[in-house]
Structures are given as structure tokens and as C-alpha cells.
Amino acid sequence: MLQFLKKVMTSTTKLSFAVFFLLLFSCDRDTPVEIVDDGIPPAKPTGLRIFRAHDGEIGIEWNHNLEKDIKFYKIFRTIDPSDLYLLIDSTTATYYFDYGLEYDSTYYYKISAVDQFGNESVMSDSVFATPKNILVPLPPYYIHINARNWDDSLTIKITFSPSFSTDVDYYEIHRDKTPSFLPDSGSLIGISKVYSYTDKMNLELLERYYYKIISVDKGGLKSQASSEVSDLLLDKPKLIFPQDNAALNYFAEFKIQTSSIPADYKLVLQTNEIYGTKVELNFASDQSNSIISVPIRNVTFEPYVDYYWRVYTYTKSNNIPNSFSELYKFTIVPGG
């Protein structure tokens, strides 16, 4: 019996100590450690080194400071190591990319660490590099095109995402009437410093145009051509019924004459010349220069109210039209 009690007491004692330590360490985890300002600046950052240096871009990295209250690092740069280092940026990371640099200049860098209370370390040792022009740039991507027969003006708008290369100076725009063409001086129609281009040069209706874009860096190196995009300018659809300024009884379908090439269409009915859209009817037709009917359902016309309608064509985007008809007005006169 005595041995049994000793075993129970021993087991109970072990369990009590286990619970005690569990509660003790749980309290430690739940109680946040408050960081206070000790007034001591962080240690001087170490390990500053260059990991990238070409084509107008320099990448630097360094060791993370061991202090728990580090907030960010300051980046300093100069092109004259005997001169002052100027603050160019700050970061919470332990690396930094500096770009838009001159190929033939040497850049010197130092960093400092700043804690949550504004205490700043002394600057690190310096590193330097010259970002020479070595690699050809990357081409732009996500090329979008939209031909526009708007307001008696023929244009083709091209937009794109910029090259990932940071030293691109401008973009060459190349055009041809033949797919899979090879860009050369004969296909060059213009350049762009921004990420879009509007072609207005000798465009013809119903002619398909193909485009490619080439990135050119500040040293004159050229990328491969971008992916090819194409579009064509459609002639405008014509409104057949109701005619402009018509006064007529209720009806169940519109009539239009299609463009010369199959396309997607949108018929828009408005209560105002500018806005007030009442209904939008989307449809497609593979007929060319043909009169087709467009049924209208679940729309109630109010008598003696002016309505306006127009038809848009689309080839690339359902948001940006290729061409559009004139704007016609009609009025519902019951029994008219």
C-alpha cells in the first residue's frame, strides 16, 4: 500500500511540474516584449557587396543587422569617392536596385541602418561598380492594337507594356502588310518614348496591317522584335430603319447594313445624344454589305419621346470600337 501511494505521489508531482512549466512558458509567449529606446545607434552594417552591374543598373546587397529594432536602411551614392555621399533612397529590404545610370560612370555606395527610434548607425564600408552596356534589351510585351475609323479619321492605336530592361531609350514601331514580316529600315514607321503609338500614315479601309515593336537602349543595342499584332479598319455600318428624324409607330426590330467584312456589333439605344443608354444589343454577322434585322425585346418605348441610336463595330476589343455609324433620332407616335 505504501509503495502504491509513493507511485501516485510521484506521478502527481510530475504532472504538477509539467503543468507549472506549461503555464510558465505560455505566459512568456503571450506577453509581448516591449522594445524601448536605449539611445544606442545600430551597429555599422556589414557585408555590403555588388551582385549586379551592367546596362545602366547596379544591384547591391548586405547582411541584416542583428538588432531587433531595425526599421530601415538608407542608401547613399556618389560618383566621386572623395566627395560627400548623397542619400538617394531607403528600403526595409537587404538589397537595392539602382537604375537609369550612365554606362561609363563609376558609382560608389554606402548604407546606414536606422532603428525604430531614429537612431542611425555610421555608414558602411563602400563598394563601387560601372554598369557598362553589355546585353541587348528585352522587347516590350502585351501588345494591344485597335483600328479606329472615327469621326472621318483613320488611325491605328497600339499600346504595350514596357520592356523589363531599365535602360531602354525608345521603341521602334514597324509595320507591314504581310504577316510574319522581318522588321528592317523599310518597315520602320516611327519611334515612341512612351508605351503607345498612333499610326496615321497612309492607312486604307479594309486593309490589314501587321505591327512589331523593337526596344532600343541608350547605347543603341536593339532587342528582338515583339510578338506580332494586326488589325484592319472597317467601313462604317449604315442605319436603315428607323430613318433619321422618323416619327413612327411601335416596332420590333432595327435594320442595318453591315460592314464589308464580318464583324462583331453593338447597337446602342439612348434617350440623349450623349448619354442615357436604354439598351445595348450585342450581335455578330458574317454577312458583308448586307441589310440585316436586329430584333429588340423587352424594351418599352414611351410615346412622344426622342430616342437616339447608333451601331458600333468591333474587331479586337468589346470595349473599344473599330468604327461606328452616324447617330439617328426617332420618335414613337402611336398610330403614326
Is 141-232 the same fold as 49-129?
yes
Tell me how far apart the alpha carbons of residues 34 and 40 are, in angstroms, rounded to a whole number: 16
Query: pTM for this one?
Result: 0.81
H or E element: which one contains 57?
A: strand 57-61
User: Where does 245-314 have alpha helices with state H?
Assistant: none
Is 323 within 8 Å of 233 (Cβ atoms)? yes
Fold of 49-129: Immunoglobulin-like (2.60.40)
Is 225 within 8 Å of 141 (Cβ atoms)? no
Amino acid identity of 92? T
Tell me how far apart the alpha carbons of residues 72 and 96 are, in angstroms, rounded to a whole number: 12
Fold of 238-332: Immunoglobulin-like (2.60.40)
Length of the chain: 336
Superfamily of domain 141-232: Immunoglobulins (2.60.40.10)
Amino acid identity of 83? D
All three cell numbers of 266: 453593338
Is 128 within 8 Å of 106 (Cβ atoms)? yes
Tell me how far apart the alpha carbons of residues 322 and 206 are, in angstroms, rounded to a whole number: 11
pLDDT < 70 positions in the chain: 1-33, 336
Which pLDDT does position 138 carry in this prediction?
A: 98
Q: Using one digit for the tens of pLDDT, what is the confidence trace for 176-217?
A: 999 999 999 999 999 999 999 999 999 999 999 999 999 999
> Where do the structural domains in the chain lie, given as residue ranges?
49-129, 141-232, 238-332
Of the candidates 98, 75, 79, the one whose C-alpha atom is nearest the C-alpha of residue 87 is 75
Q: What is the DSSP letter of 185?
A: T
Q: What is the DSSP letter of 120?
A: B
Tell me how far apart the alpha carbons of residues 279 and 299 are, in angstroms, rounded to a whole number: 8
All three cell numbers of 329: 433620332
